[in-house]
Structure 1
């Protein structure tokens, strides 16, 4: 439907920049998520999604040969400028104060939602999205029914149509059941 990987030169620059501040990174392809090392912030970041850090001997080959759609790493806002220094088409789309997500400058959840709506011929007014972090703001702007999770940031709640339950309490499931969506 749509593919928008990071540029290989930007990936290599980010790897060097991260190494300069002793931060390993994870890369996400369409088939796997692997890392070139491990540290506490990255382990804790992966644990949120009930994932484990997979330090791979295949890391360099993957960066060279596969499409990388996202880079994930532990880090703080003060490190953002260091991480993307000298990149051309990469941006940070962070959602947690101890993690950094890097995606293409011309990418993000808003673009992804638009591509899906366009592909299926669905009008924005008929679309719903759920989110909990500020990285969901651009996605919320692309749908007619933005629903913030109970644990969402105040910024996201302020632009949502409704607020459902907390993500850890199956908020989306119960919202959909209560509103006869499933």
Structure 2
């Protein structure tokens, strides 16, 4: 019987390869830990309404979405933490002045500032988003997460002037101009802490895998943390272990290190 009780997996660059597939070794490893009674969560910056097929394929019913703003455990909502309406309005103004684009995630839809922009077409194609709408102010109070699109590195400071906010570059090939908006107090680490408390599980019995800087707090919130070999250059210092790339059985090899899969 294993001492571990819960496993948190980032999606893009961790669970899913650049061509949007899950390796057979990864599927097998997830099924094996589930058979040992370990609850598997998808912990992602993605909106949860866009991952139904992936969750069904892997027999996963528990989630942290929107970079820690919304959690579901076996179909039950545990918490939702929308962004302040004033912040959403401020970011709309900054994006408009500097010709940036953005997507605002609600718990039902992806709200884009400009559905006709080339960068947004690329973004939607990479993530296979389907529930897309054009922005209007009626959505301001329902926003759980934001990704800013078409930014240059020097533009990041425009948005980080807000208190308790930092941007995390999306670690997906071809989308280096995109940044997730991360709250210092509401992030994947916060989501894990809330869930571990709800499930009465000590952090030492929790495992996490990630590859991007939006996974930093998540990797610090568990006892056993793995950075993928393809991870952002700055993420490795926050993980206990480094595993192989997402295209080279990274999750399976990490779980082998813990003796959880053969």
Query: Take 1:32 and 1:68, find their aligned partners in 2: how far apart are those partners?
Result: 10
Provide the aligned length of Structure 1 versus Structure 2: 178
Partner of 2:189: 110
Partner of 2:260: 180
For structure 1, which runs of at least 5 residues remain unmatched after alignment? none
Q: 2:102 aligns with which of 1, 21, 25?
A: 25
- For residue 241 of structure 2, the aligned residue among 158, 162, 172 is 162
Label 1:72 to 1:152 Cα distance change in 2 as closer, same or farther (>3 A). Answer: same
The alignment's C-alpha RMSD in Å is 2.8
Uncovered stretches (5+) of structure 2, i.e. residues with no partner = 1-77
Contact persistence 1:24–1:35 (CA under 8 A): yes
Equivalent residue for 2:223, pick from 129, 144, 147: 144
Distance 1:22 1:154, change over 3 A: closer
Structure with the bigger RCO (C-alpha within 8 Å, sep 6+) is 2
Instruction: Map 1:124-139 onto structure 2 (within 5 A).
Output: 124-139=203-218
Cα distance in 1 for residues equivalent to 2:147 and 2:185: 17
Quick one: which of 155, 160, 170 aligns to 1:79?
A: 155
1:51 is aligned to 2:129: yes
SS for the counterpart of 1:128 is: strand
Q: Note the alpha carbon deviations across 1:97-123, whole angstroms, 9 max, x for none.
A: 311212444211111111111111111
- 1:158, CA displacement in angstroms? 3.2
Asked if the contact 1:28–1:68 (Cα under 8 Å) also holds between the matched residues in 2, the reply is: yes
Q: Would you tell me which structure has more helix in proportion to its own residues? A: 1
Deviations 1:65-99, CA, capped at 9 Å, x for gaps: 5x2111112123211222355x4564423334311
Check the 8 A contact 2:206/2:224 in 1, yes or no: yes
Greater shift, 135-144 or 94-103, is seen at: 94-103
Greater per-residue strand proportion: 2
Q: TM-score if structure 2 supplies the norm length?
A: 0.59
